[in-house]
Structure 1
Amino acid sequence: MPTSAVGDRVTTPGGVVNALSLGPVPTWDPQRLAARGDTAFAERVFARTLTAYAPDTDPEKQARLVGDLATDTGTASDDLKTWTFTLRDGVMWQDGTPVTCKDVAYGISRTFATGRITGGPTDALAVLAIPRNSDGTSTYEGPYATGKSAKKGRQAFEKAVSCDGRKITFTLSMPVGDFDEMLTQPAFGPVKKSVDRGEDGTWDIFSAGPYMLQGTWEEGRGGTFVRNPHWSADSDPVRKAYPDEIRYQEGLETQTVAQQVMADNAAGRESVSLGSAPPAIQQHITAVQSLEERSVNPRTGIVDYLVPNVRSKVFEDEQVRLALATATNREAYVTAIGGGTAADPALSLVPHGLPAAHDDDPVGAGTRGDPARAKAILEKAGVDTPVEFTIAYRSDPTSDKAIAALVAGWQQAGFEPKTMPVTDDYFSTIADKDARKDIDVFWSNWAPAWASASTILPPLFDSTINITKTGPGRDYGYWEDEDLDARMAKVSAIVDRGEREKAWAEVDRTLLEQGAYIGLAERRALYIAGSDIRNLSANAVLGGVVEFADIAVAP
């Protein structure tokens, strides 16, 4: 599949883009944004961040970090506990006032108001050097708190996030080698205090980017984004802002959107789908050249994987875990969920677009699995066959077929799986502390928060931040390895990005070698655009979504 739509590249302003989505968008508040598609749209249209990933049609280059509001990607102290950034000149809010260091600090401070600003990333609470209460909560309660304790908390925050003119300095409680990448999230972006309505500002947009909302956002219908007259291309190294307007329409069924854009009528010619086309329509799009040329089929960074429960009697044995991994037919899984336009077989949890991505196969089973070799591993392990186990997964018609395809391969290898389909509250079910008593293998999926394996491997396999008396956190298989936990802490403190991500790749290989998890597939999306849309591409690092930093309309 091409990375851009057919037609000459357009670099001149003008035209209207209709962005069509099922939605609904739950919020446009930068500190509450969580959905990857909504976040990516906001970052390219109206929300500025200190750093950003530069748009590029080459997926291999989409993890390139640049300064956005900041002049560069920052300067870190030797111990990685202090980071300093300088804001660009000429960045303006939509009312013509400059974006200041205090605006950035105020935006970040809102994250600490956990009772009012909810749902977004809380990385600021985790890493900023602000004292905690005995129960682990922050002593700073955000900018809306009042009273004597609020004053002390505010003083602590102002030490951790300090302003000196256009210079902003962050003091962290721990070394964070990729803090500059953490700052790509709108949760670390600016908010102008005088327009902040707290929890009442769910869909408020006050722009520092190239577009501003015309009028108000209509829940379930959408809104129109027009040019911010105070935005300057000279102050923005990320966004090209070619269209004059972006009309965002939500509440449209994904299949209806795809059919409307495929028809290429007057409205469809200037439209782009924000939801992936359904599998049946994907097959039609890829079979018709004129439609394929107007589509893009990126990897999304979402990886499906399996986690053996190492506290179960079945999979406490490393050799049995490796036998299961060896017998796993990832190609059959991909075929069941829709084929090559829906996903790629994956051996690793690290998506292709990340610097830590690798093609190593420590188990040596390939993507089709090797039941005969798996059976030999079980025989060498001296276990009785068939090896019975229970696998839990989030059930729907497609997933039912995909798990059935895996079961067939496992049975050939000497396993006897019992499937446990779960339809409601899946992740709450498998995170329950009692789940380990009845479930031997857990299906799950994950995507990175930014372009580092630090947002994948520690969140899923560091026992020190996951496993407690109340449950496994996200470490569903109760993986515990003190040496590896210590190693991950050291990797997080490596200064050089290239060396750090190479070290994360080595950590991932270790996990695979020990059978800590089994990669299945990295999901893909397929978006289609009208014939007047130009520069169509998708950004895998931002979640495999349509790239609005570069999109344009034919003159």
Structure 2
Amino acid sequence: MTTKPSKPSKPSQTPQTAARFSRRGILAATPLVLGVGALAACSNGGSGGSSDGGGGGESGGTLTIFSTGEEMSFDPATSQNLAITTLGLTARRLTAWKTSADAPTELIPDLATDVGTASEDGTTWTFTLQEGLLFEDGTPITAATVKYGLERSFAAELTGGLTYHKVLLEGGEDYAGPFSDKHLDSIETPDDLTLVFHLNRPYGDFGWIASTPAFAPVPEESGEPETYATEPVASGPYRLESYAPGSKAVLVRNEKWDVDTDQARLGGPDSIEFTLAQDASVVAQSIIADRSDAQDSFLSTFVPTAQLVQAQNDPKVGDRLVTSGPGALEYLALNTESDALKDVKVRQAIQYAVDKEAYRTAKGGEISGDYATTLITPGIAGREEYSLYSDEPTGDVDKAAALLKEAGAGEISLRLVITDDQTGAAESIQQGLKRAGITVTIQPLDENAYSSEVTAGDGTGYDLVLSSWQPDVPSPNANLTPLFDSSQIGDGNYNLARYANPDVDAAILEASSTIDADEAHAKWAAVDKQILEESPVVPLIYSKNSFIHGSGVENFVIGEFPAYPNYLTVTLG
């Protein structure tokens, strides 16, 4: 899911900071504190040229991606990159994602010949590599290089990456990485093309886990922790030619990549330039105007609010402004340990009292998202649409008042903790609850105080908190486990409602252990409703993200999941 979200995403953030603040979690029902990381650092640039060089690219030219970020890392061990963004240009994984604007994201093979085969009990997963795959230097990509790349992610020298595999692989909790010449026995490589993973419990989503960055191959002789971030050995369609922090990173064709072996990437442009440390507003204006130096580019950040309005009203922009479908879940977490919120009827009353229409208006109106009623987000296979509470976006104040009366609730005063950028959204919550006689005091906190009181604290410092969540992989598991499993309360984790229900914990474990996808989806849909019946959070909206690109950019696709463009398929006209 990514980060671990500590703050909700906002339209002016880059995908990298939105990821940090809205999407991370763990997929295993095991307590774990995850590091903060980036989705992507991107930039923009050039023009021209045509080539069908190295790997069968379609469009040639130089694609520029503008980024507000100042630094980039190409080390998969420390990355929280989504499978379709920056790192996927240079590093393949065992599996990959096929995104579509009108269908759920599909798991597809990448380095492997299929998406993995589970044993009957779901504790062993086997992958077979395609034959003939090469690194940029011409050396073979083997099972041993995938194993080494994965082992590197356990090293204390390399922190910040996703950690799902660390709590699933047998012996992972005690393994400290390969730099002391030790290997992880639960990853077997019986031959050059076969990997066998032994898990500590049945796990149905391991094929998705194999699409995360740590499953990229790394040659053992090249994987030094001090240098690999800026001297990677590419397995994808591009290799890193040059990198200057705060300025630019240049990717050029990897001549050893073969498009016929790759279902996830087109390898269209001859080169890709990431222009760093950019002002999003300035870049957006340049792309809106379609200036010559911006035609073959896109902005990696969400379009800032002022420029979004400008682009919407400029007929010359047209379909160069691309808005995603509904994505990350924005929600109001209700601290179930708070004395004022322990009664489920009080929490259910808040479901009816909240004014989602006012909240969405404060976030920017219809373009900011669709109203939310479920916990599993759109674009994820297995999601079921339902509504347990009011179907009116403005709420149902009479129903809220009736529930409060049933609960025997007297005067209720709640403390809503926010970050500085959430004031307008918080005021909409405050005004909605006031209609039902609930007083809300808004308290902005800086990032350190927020972390101390909300994610790492004991729960005594707040009653309500606004947050959002986009998982790292398109699985219901990634929506529900990090936010509602009791093991994820405190210690830097993201069960912000501090919700603990042994029956839900058991249902989460059962669903995540189910190997058959259809059976698992049915179980996750049931867990979704089971949780929301107890009202630990109020779903507000599924946020939408708007991006803009120049007139020379083609195949700029935002799938149903995630709400970001697929960098791997962008080409130039």
Distance 1:168 1:341, change over 3 A: same
- Aligned mates of 1:489, 1:509 — CA distance in 2: 16
Residue 109 in structure 1 maps to residue 151 in structure 2: yes
- Aligned mates of 1:217, 1:300 — CA distance in 2: 35
Letter in 1 for 2:507: R
SS in structure 2 of the partner of residue 301 of structure 1 = coil
- Aligned mates of 1:231, 1:525 — CA distance in 2: 32
- Give a deviation string over 1:329-350, Cα, whole Å, max 9, x none: 1221111112222333222332
The match for 1:329 is 355
- The alpha-carbon deviation at position 471 of structure 1 amounts to 5.2
SS in structure 1 of the partner of residue 231 of structure 2 = coil
8 Å contact from structure 1 (residues 112, 140) kept in 2 = yes
Residue in structure 1 matching 2:126, options 67, 71, 84: 84
The match for 2:23 is none
Letter in 2 for 1:529: H
- Aligned mates of 2:314, 2:363 — CA distance in 1: 21
The match for 1:391 is 416
Distance 1:161 1:80, change over 3 A: same
8 Å contact from structure 1 (residues 304, 522) kept in 2 = yes
Letter in 2 for 1:497: A
8 Å contact from structure 1 (residues 348, 518) kept in 2 = no
- Aligned mates of 1:534, 1:40 — CA distance in 2: 16
Letter in 2 for 1:531: S
The match for 1:521 is 541
The match for 2:94 is 50
Distance 1:393 1:455, change over 3 A: same
8 Å contact from structure 1 (residues 90, 235) kept in 2 = no
Residue 379 in structure 1 maps to residue 379 in structure 2: no
- The alpha-carbon deviation at position 235 of structure 1 amounts to 1.1
Name which of structure 1's ranges 316-325 and 216-225 shifts more when overlaid on structure 2.
216-225
- The alpha-carbon deviation at position 43 of structure 1 amounts to 4.4
- Aligned mates of 1:264, 1:60 — CA distance in 2: 31
Residue 293 in structure 1 maps to residue 319 in structure 2: yes
Moved over 4 A (4+): none
Distance 1:176 1:163, change over 3 A: same
SS in structure 2 of the partner of residue 445 of structure 1 = strand
- The alpha-carbon deviation at position 537 of structure 1 amounts to 1.3
The match for 2:113 is 71
Distance 1:295 1:193, change over 3 A: same
TM-score (norm 1): 0.89
- Aligned mates of 1:358, 1:281 — CA distance in 2: 35
The match for 2:42 is none
Distance 1:481 1:224, change over 3 A: same
Task: Give aligned pairs, total.
Answer: 517
- The alpha-carbon deviation at position 309 of structure 1 amounts to 1.5
- Aligned mates of 2:232, 2:370 — CA distance in 1: 37
8 Å contact from structure 2 (residues 335, 464) kept in 1 = yes
- Aligned mates of 1:471, 1:330 — CA distance in 2: 31
- Give a deviation string over 1:442-486, Cα, whole Å, max 9, x none: 2222221111121121112111x224xx75832222211111111
Residue in structure 2 matching 1:143, options 173, 178, 192: 178
Identity %: 30
The match for 2:78 is 32
The match for 2:451 is 427
Residue in structure 1 matching 2:223, options 196, 204, 216: 196
- Aligned mates of 1:476, 1:181 — CA distance in 2: 25
Residue in structure 1 matching 2:103, options 60, 73, 86: 60
- The alpha-carbon deviation at position 198 of structure 1 amounts to 0.9
Equivalent runs, 1:122-271 vs 2, <5 Å: 122-130=163-171, 138-145=173-180, 151=182, 154=183, 157-214=184-241, 216-271=242-297
- Give a deviation string over 1:361-420, Cα, whole Å, max 9, x none: 112344321112211211222222x42211112222xx1011111111111112111112
SS in structure 1 of the partner of residue 515 of structure 2 = coil
SS in structure 1 of the partner of residue 316 of structure 2 = helix
SS in structure 2 of the partner of residue 546 of structure 1 = coil
- Aligned mates of 1:87, 1:100 — CA distance in 2: 7
Residue in structure 1 matching 2:69, options 10, 14, 23: 23
8 Å contact from structure 2 (residues 81, 87) kept in 1 = no
Unaligned ranges ≥5, structure 2: 1-56
TM-score (norm 2): 0.86
- Aligned mates of 1:459, 1:204 — CA distance in 2: 34
SS in structure 2 of the partner of residue 504 of structure 1 = helix
When the two chains are superposed, the root-mean-square deviation of aligned CA atoms in Å is 2.0
Letter in 2 for 1:195: S
- Give a deviation string over 1:108-150, Cα, whole Å, max 9, x none: 001111x20111012222000117xxxxxx332111125xxxx
8 Å contact from structure 1 (residues 130, 160) kept in 2 = no
- Aligned mates of 2:91, 2:349 — CA distance in 1: 48
- Aligned mates of 2:357, 2:224 — CA distance in 1: 50
Residue 505 in structure 1 maps to residue 528 in structure 2: no
The match for 2:13 is none
8 Å contact from structure 1 (residues 55, 547) kept in 2 = yes
- The alpha-carbon deviation at position 202 of structure 1 amounts to 2.6
Letter in 1 for 2:160: G
The match for 2:51 is none
- Give a deviation string over 1:144-187, Cα, whole Å, max 9, x none: 125xxxx4xx2xx1343434231111000111100000111011
- Aligned mates of 2:264, 2:538 — CA distance in 1: 37
Distance 1:472 1:48, change over 3 A: closer
8 Å contact from structure 1 (residues 341, 524) kept in 2 = yes
8 Å contact from structure 2 (residues 169, 186) kept in 1 = no
- Give a deviation string over 1:208-227, Cα, whole Å, max 9, x none: 1111112x211111222111
8 Å contact from structure 1 (residues 204, 217) kept in 2 = no
SS in structure 2 of the partner of residue 437 of structure 1 = coil
Name which of structure 1's ranges 401-410 and 356-365 shifts more when overlaid on structure 2.
356-365
8 Å contact from structure 2 (residues 58, 266) kept in 1 = no
Letter in 1 for 2:187: A
SS in structure 1 of the partner of residue 317 of structure 2 = helix
Unaligned ranges ≥5, structure 1: 1-10, 132-137
Distance 1:333 1:92, change over 3 A: same
- Aligned mates of 1:161, 1:526 — CA distance in 2: 43
- Aligned mates of 1:473, 1:195 — CA distance in 2: 34
Name which of structure 1's ranges 425-434 and 495-504 shifts more when overlaid on structure 2.
425-434
8 Å contact from structure 2 (residues 326, 378) kept in 1 = no
Residue in structure 1 matching 2:488, options 447, 450, 466: 466
The match for 2:301 is 275
- Aligned mates of 1:196, 1:522 — CA distance in 2: 40
Letter in 2 for 1:546: P
- Aligned mates of 1:242, 1:24 — CA distance in 2: 26
SS in structure 2 of the partner of residue 456 of structure 1 = helix
8 Å contact from structure 2 (residues 476, 524) kept in 1 = yes
- Aligned mates of 1:548, 1:440 — CA distance in 2: 40
8 Å contact from structure 2 (residues 454, 496) kept in 1 = yes
8 Å contact from structure 2 (residues 86, 567) kept in 1 = no
- Aligned mates of 2:111, 2:81 — CA distance in 1: 22
